[in-house]
Amino acid sequence: MTPLAEKVSQSALDGTRLRVVLMLDVEDGAEQRFLDAYDQMCRHVAAVPGHVSDQLCQSIENPSQWLITSEWDSALHFLAWVDSPTHLEMVQPMHGCVKDTRSLRFGVLRETRTSYEPGLLQSVPRVGDGLNRHAITFTVKPGSEATVADILSGYTSPQAQVDETTRLHRTSLFMHGNRVVRAVEVEGDLIRALRHVARQPEVQEVEEAINPYLEAHRDLSDPSSAREFFARAALPAVHHVAKGADRPETLSRHALFYPAKDGCGPSVAKMLAAQDEQAVEDPKGPLARSTVYLREDIVVRLIDLRMPVEEAPLIAVGAAGRHKASVLARLLDVGPDLDVSSDLGLKRFLNECDMRMLTDRRAPVNAPAS
C-alpha cells in the first residue's frame, strides 16, 4: 500500500472519458444466445446519454472467453446507466449464458489518434493506496431500525484473508433513519472479496436475520434475486482523497448522509469532492481522508478526522466556509429554516447529516482474521 504522506486521489467526477472492460466466461454451447443478447442490448445502449462506442471480442485461444469494451463521455454517465433498472433489464438475457464476469473501469489518460480533445482526457496520473472502495445501501421498514441495528452491530467478522493477493481491510456500517450503509475497503480484487464474504456462514446468518425487515424483498438463495438486490443497492465510490501518515486508530471515522434534492446528487458530490481536495492539503488540518459515494441522488461521504467532529464542523460537513455551507444546504432537502450561518444552525446541519456508526472493523496488521 502507498504511504499516505503522499497525496492519494481517485475520482469519477472530473469529466474524464471512461473505458469500461467487461471480461466474461460464456457457457459452452451458449455462444449464439450470448451474441443475440449482446446485439439486442447494443440497440438500446446506443441511445443512452454519454455512451460513445462498444466492442465485442472473442478469444482466439479459448472461445469461451469474451471481452466487451465500451467508451463513455464520463464516469458519471456510465454509473447513472449501470445502476439503473433499465440496465438490469437489458442484461438479464445474458445471465443464463455466462459463468463468470469481471468489470474494470478506467479513466482515459492518453490515446493515439490523429486528433483529439485534450480536455476530455485525465490530466495527470493519480496515486493510489492499494485499496478498492465500495459501499451498498438499503432501507429497512420504519419501526424496525433498533432491531436491525442490534443485528448488524453483533455479527462475527468473517476471515479477512481471501487469498494470496486479496484481503478485507476494513468494514464500516452506519445507519441514518431507516437507511443502512455498509462501506468496505479491500486490498486486491474487490469482486473476489465480496464473493468470499457472501459465502461465510456468519455473514449469511446476519443477512437472513435482517431479510424480514427490508423494504425491498430479496432472496439471497436465488441468484437472480441476489444479483438484482446488490445491483440496486450498489453505492459506488466516485471520489477519494487522502494525505498524511496518520495511523487509523488515531483518527475519528464518520459517515455523513446528504439528502440531495431531485437531480442534485452529482452537484453535491462534486462540491464535496472539490472542497475535500483542498482540505487535505493542510497536513495538520482536521481532514485526513475522504471518500464520496454516489448513486443518483443518494450521496454519502465517509471521512477520517484528526480531531472530534464538533471541533471542526465546517470541514466535517464538507464546506470551506459558511458561504459554501449555505450553498451546499440549498442543494439538500433539509428544510427551509436551516441557517448554517449561525453556530446553532451549523450544529443542527451536522447532526442531521452525521450517521450513526454501528460497526467499524479493521483487519489486524499481519493477521489473517478481522
What pLDDT digit, counting tens, does each position of 320-341 carry?
888 888 889 889 988 777 777 7
Q: Are 236 and 295 in contact (CB under 8 A)?
A: yes
Same domain, 149 and 201: yes
Same domain, 140 and 222: yes
Buried b (16+ CB within 10 A) or exposed e, 126-160: beebebbbbbbbbbbeeebbeebbebbeebebbeb
Residue 188: left (phi > 0), alpha (psi -120 to 50), or beta?
Answer: left
Decide if 115 is inside a domain.
no
Q: Which residues pair with 236 in a beta bridge?
A: 134
Same domain, 152 and 53: no
Q: Show the low-confidence residues of the chain (pLDDT under 50).
A: 2-3, 116, 118-119, 367-370
Same domain, 154 and 86: no
| Residue 129, pLDDT score | 86
DSSP-derived 3-state class of residue 235: strand
Decide if 5 is inside a domain.
no
Last residue of a domain, one of 43, 72, 107: 107
For 57, 63, 65, 66, 99, the CA distances from 60, given in Å and listed in that order, are 9, 6, 9, 10, 19
Decide if 49 is inside a domain.
yes
Number of H helices, E strands in the chain: 11, 13
| Residue 370, pLDDT score | 40
Same domain, 36 and 151: no
The count of domains in the chain is 2
Q: Are 230 and 334 in contact (CB under 8 A)?
A: no
CA distance 292 to 255: 10
Cβ atoms < 10 Å from Cβ of 57:
11
| Residue 210, pLDDT score | 94
Same domain, 142 and 44: no
Which residues, including other chains, have CB under 8 Å from residue 80's CB and lie 6 or more apart?
A: 49, 50, 296
DSSP, residue by residue, 6-60: S-EEEES-S---EEEEEEEEEPTT-HHHHHHHHHHHHHHHTTSTTEEEEEEEE-S
Decide if 10 is inside a domain.
no
Decide if 118 is inside a domain.
no
Same domain, 99 and 150: no
Strands 131-139 and 179-187: antiparallel
Report the predicted TM-score, pTM, of the whole model to 2 decimal places.
0.87
Q: Render pLDDT for 91-133 as a digit per residue (tens, 0 to 9).
A: 888 888 888 888 899 999 888 765 545 446 677 777 888 889 9
DSSP-derived 3-state class of residue 234: strand
Decide if 8 is inside a domain.
no
Strand order in the sheet with 18-26: 51-58, 65-72, 18-26, 98-107
Same domain, 289 and 149: yes
305 CB-side CA count, 13 A: 20
What phi and psi values does residue 4 have, to the nearest 5 degrees?
A: -80, 5
CATH of the domain at 279: 3.30.70.100
Residue 61: left (phi > 0), alpha (psi -120 to 50), or beta?
Answer: alpha
Decide if 1 is inside a domain.
no
| Residue 117, pLDDT score | 52
Same domain, 300 and 170: yes
Same domain, 92 and 207: no
Same domain, 84 and 213: no
Strands 131-139 and 51-58: unpaired
Domain range for 213 is 129-362
Same domain, 77 and 166: no
Which residues, including other chains, have CB under 8 Å from residue 251's CB and lie 6 or more apart?
A: 288, 289, 304, 305, 306
Decide if 119 is inside a domain.
no
Last residue of a domain, one of 72, 107, 142: 107
